[in-house]
Each structure stands twice: as C-alpha cells, then as structure tokens.
Amino acid sequence: MASTKEILLGRIRGGQPLSGADRVRLTLTLCGPAILAQLASVLLQFIDASMVGSLGAGPSASIGLVSTTGWIFGGFCMAAAQGFSVQVAHKAGADDFTGARRILRQGLLCAGALAVVFAIIAVAISGPLPRWLGGDPSIRQGASEYFRIQAAFYPMMMLGFFGATMLQCSGEMKIPAILDVVMCALDVVFNFLLIFPTREISLAGLNFTMWGAGMGIKGAALGTGIAEVITAALMMYFLLVRDKNLGIKGEMGSFLPDRSTLSKAWSITGPMWVQNLVMRGAYVASTLIVAPLGPVAIAANSFAIIAESFCYMPGYGMADAATTLVGQSLGASRKDLARSFKNITLGMGVGMMVSLAVVMYLLAGKIMGLLSVDPDVVALGARCLRLEAFAEAGYAASIVAFGACMGSGDTRVPTALNFTSVWLVRIGLALILTPRYGLMGYWIAMFIELNVRGALLTLRTRGDKWMKTRLTASEIEKETLAL
C-alpha cells in the first residue's frame, strides 16, 4: 500500500490538485526525517567536539584552524553531487525514472572521479596549509596531520553526499536521515576509541579497563573517516540496489556522461562551486582574521559555530524539502505549486529557527560548557552565541530560499547575492571590527551579514524570475530532442 508521501508526490507528477493541508503535510513528511537527522547529528557533534575539547584549547584550535578549508572541499563534493541530483528531481517530477537512472549512472562516475582529484589536491597542501592560514607554530603540526587524514577520505564523503542527495531528490528522505544518524554515532564510537589512551573507567559502580589508541586529534580524523566509509557503503546499497525508483541492479546502461547531462550539471554545479568558494572562502578569510587573536579565540570561534548548528538544523531540513518539492513541481510544469512550496518551507524554516534561537540565547553558557573545559573559551563563545541568536531569522531565510532556488536550477543570481553579502558586508566589517573588538567584532560583522543575506535571498524568490530556468521538464525534453 502506498504511503501518504508517495500518494501526494504522485499527485504532483500526475497534475492533480493538492489542498493547502496536503501541501503542509507533504512538506512536514519530507523535512521531518531530515530535521531529526540534523538534530541527532548536532547532538553527536557536541559529544564528538567535547572529546577533543577535553584535550585542551591547543588541540581544539588545531582542528578549528583547518576546518574551514575542509568545508571548502566538502562544498565542492556536495555541489558536484547536486548538479546531477537536481536533474533527477526534475525527471522524477515528470515521472521519468528511466531518465533519472541514466543521469544517476553518469553522475556517479563524474562525482567519484572529481572526489579523487580533490583528495589528491588536499593531501598535497596539507603540510603548508596551517602556515598559510596564519596558525600559531604550536598548533601547526596537529592541524596538518588532522587535515591530511581527513582529506584521504574525500572519495567516501562524496559517495555519501551523492547517495543522500539522489535519494532525497527522488522523494526518499528517511534512508539518508537514518544513515546520517548512523554515521554520527559511528563517528562518536570510533573517536572514543581512537582519541584517548587505554584508561580505567568507572560505570554504574563497575571499574574496568577501556582500550584506547591514544592518537589525539589524529584519532578524531581517522574515526570520522572510518565512519564515512561504512556510511558510504550503506548509502550506495540503498540507492543502487534497494531503491525502487533509482536502483540500477540488473539494469544495463552506460556510465559515460553525455553532453546534455554534463551541460545541465555544470549549469548547476558551476555556480555552486563559485558559491562554495564565496562562502567557504569567506570562512577561510575569517580564520585568517581570527587566527592572530590566539588559541582561545580560535577555539571559542570553532566551538561557537558548532553550538550554533543547534539552531540552523531545521533550516537545512527545510531546504532539503524545498529543493525536492520545487524541483518536482517544476518538473511537472506546475509553477504555482513550486511557489506555494517555497512559501511554506520558508515560513516553517524561519519559525523553527527563531524558536531554537531563544533556547540558544538562554542556555548559551551551558551549551558552550558541554564543548570545552576552558572557562575563557566557554565565556567568550557564550557571548558570541547570544549575539547570533538575533540573526537566526535572517539565516533561516537565506538557507531555505537558496534550497528553493536550487530546486529550480537557479544558482547564478543567488551566488552573486551571497558573494555581495559575505565578502562586502561580513569580511569588510570584520576587517574593521575584529582588530578593535576581538572575536566579538567578527561575530558582530557576521550578525549583520546574515540578516542582510536573508533579506537579499528572500527578495530573489519573490515573483517568478527565480523559476525561469532552462531546466524545466518541457525545456529538458526540447534539448534532448535537439541532440
């Protein structure tokens, strides 16, 4: 018997009407698993970060120094996967799963090859990277070792991203969400075993010896990498073997990309790579701005960013739902439905993030206390979080609006808006405020920028221009016939 989600998605593809209640129900059905996965991910990241935080400010600063560069490579992997998964969403909306599987095969080969290239580049720069980022000599070796190990697992990270985005864009949200939780749990377990040395542990009145590798921050990188390998294998199994719409088990077809698929993928991925450089490059620039403030500021900045993820997890869940719903609606040539789903996801995303921002403001000190044992790091990070609570509405709007634009294939203009906001507003203000006010100066600049970015992207999704892409179902068909 078909589930509620399958029935409602079928109505989109079949051109049948959906009431307002049906649209809200479908949105919640799709975003629910993603938000729960984000919640589990954040909670487990807290545990993970607290393990490193217990080692002191130095190791925490080592990871914080190179984490922004890791985000850049991760963003490249995600964008490469989404260049193909958005096309799959459009094919699914047109009820053409044969075409969707053709795109999947081509995307798997291209994304895998790119991930290998990214890994080679990242490993090659791991040695001088901490020095390029202006890190204190005392933390450079640890930062370099952490980044090198992390980079070696990029192909596995790419397979995980690819599988998750493909399943989500076809309407399957539960499997990626469950596997995200599994990966985070494995990460915590492996880090627990690899970071700390063999030690005596007391649990429920029982004393026993717990084996540990004692690898410190190298163990943190290796533990995450092993978790990525296991999760990628499971994600590929559910995508390629078990999924009834996208599974290619026993199906013959070429993995070599054709011109049409590559052109459409590049029209999405190219701007998203620029977007990645704009956003993550700004994070690297922020690292250069914050690094001279010392290990305490670096650690407080890194942990505060992790703590803030407690707020924006529903935003990214809603963005995933927006990409799927807008993409399938446009694939079915239903712009009115795409516009409606954009409004629903935007409103829900902002409401949820503002609610969590209130909690973050009230519990900022306790949240930071879970991540670090250093009182100076905790106090400074808590001040940053309380300020940032007032930017979560704008941040939510920017996240969900970009997800909606991605579903339509509209990535060029949103990327230009992000560039203007992040580099001119955030970095420009940070260069002025950080030398004067320390880490709080940088977070004041970020607070202003997030609200500006939210306003810009919300304005972008007003009207119909953001839906006028060459990736609608009818235009894809015309391009295919022209080949």
The per-residue pLDDT for range 40-71, each reduced to its tens digit, is 666 655 666 667 777 777 787 788 788 878 88
The number of beta carbons lying within 10 Å of the beta carbon of residue 58 is 15
Task: Examine residue 237 and state whether it is found in any structural domain, yes or no.
Answer: yes
* Interval 274-279 mean pLDDT: 78
The number of beta carbons lying within 10 Å of the beta carbon of residue 143 is 26
129: left (phi over 0), alpha (psi -120 to 50) or beta: alpha
Task: Examine residue 35 and state whether it is found in any structural domain, yes or no.
Answer: yes
Residues 6+ apart with CB under 8 A from 319: 345, 349, 399, 400, 402, 403, 404, 406
Place of tokens 């717990």: 210
Task: Examine residue 133 and state whether it is found in any structural domain, yes or no.
Answer: yes
Task: Examine residue 204 and state whether it is found in any structural domain, yes or no.
Answer: yes
CA distance 218 to 149: 7
Residues 6+ apart with CB under 8 A from 61: 135, 136, 139, 295, 298, 299, 302
- The string of pLDDT tens digits covering residues 351-397 is 999 999 999 999 999 989 988 888 999 999 999 999 999 999 999 99
Round the CA-based radius of gyration of the chain to a whole number and report it.
22
Question: Is the model's pLDDT at 156 over the cut of 50?
Answer: yes
- The string of pLDDT tens digits covering residues 66-119 is 887 888 898 889 889 989 998 998 898 888 999 999 999 999 999 999 999 999
> How many structural domains comprise the chain?
1
Count of alpha carbons within 13 Å of 417, Cβ hemisphere only?
23
**Which of 169, 155, 307, 172 has its CA nearest to residue 231?**
155
Per-residue model confidence (pLDDT) at position 43: 64
**Which of 361, 351, 290 has its CA nearest to residue 135?**
290
**Ranges assigned E (strand) in 107-266:** 197-203, 206-213
Task: Examine residue 170 and state whether it is found in any structural domain, yes or no.
Answer: yes
**Terminal CA-to-CA distance of the chain, rounded, Å?**
40
Count of alpha carbons within 13 Å of 144, Cβ hemisphere only?
17
* Interval 303-313 mean pLDDT: 84
| Domain enclosing residue 35, as ranges | 4-477
DSSP state of 258: P
- Determine which helix (DSSP H) or strand (DSSP E) holds 45, and give its type and residue range: helix 20-53
- Tokens at 331, concatenated: 């694939």
* Interval 287-295 mean pLDDT: 86
Per-residue model confidence (pLDDT) at position 64: 75
Place of tokens 């079949």: 14
Count of alpha carbons within 13 Å of 139, Cβ hemisphere only?
28
Helices (H) and strands (E) in the chain, counts: 19, 2
Which backbone phi and psi does 255 adopt, to 5 degrees?
Answer: -95, -10
Task: Examine residue 483 and state whether it is found in any structural domain, yes or no.
Answer: no
Question: Is the model's pLDDT at 402 over the cut of 50?
Answer: yes
266-281 burial, b if ≥16 CB within 10 A, otherwise e? ebbbebbbbbbbbbbb
CA distance 358 to 385: 11
Q: Mean pLDDT score of the chain, rounded to an integer?
A: 87
- Determine which helix (DSSP H) or strand (DSSP E) holds 359, and give its type and residue range: helix 335-362
pTM of the model: 0.73
Place of tokens 């729960």: 36
Per-residue model confidence (pLDDT) at position 47: 67
The number of beta carbons lying within 10 Å of the beta carbon of residue 217 is 23
Per-residue model confidence (pLDDT) at position 411: 82
Using 50, 70 and 90 to split pLDDT, how confident is the model at 180? Answer: confident
The number of beta carbons lying within 10 Å of the beta carbon of residue 199 is 10
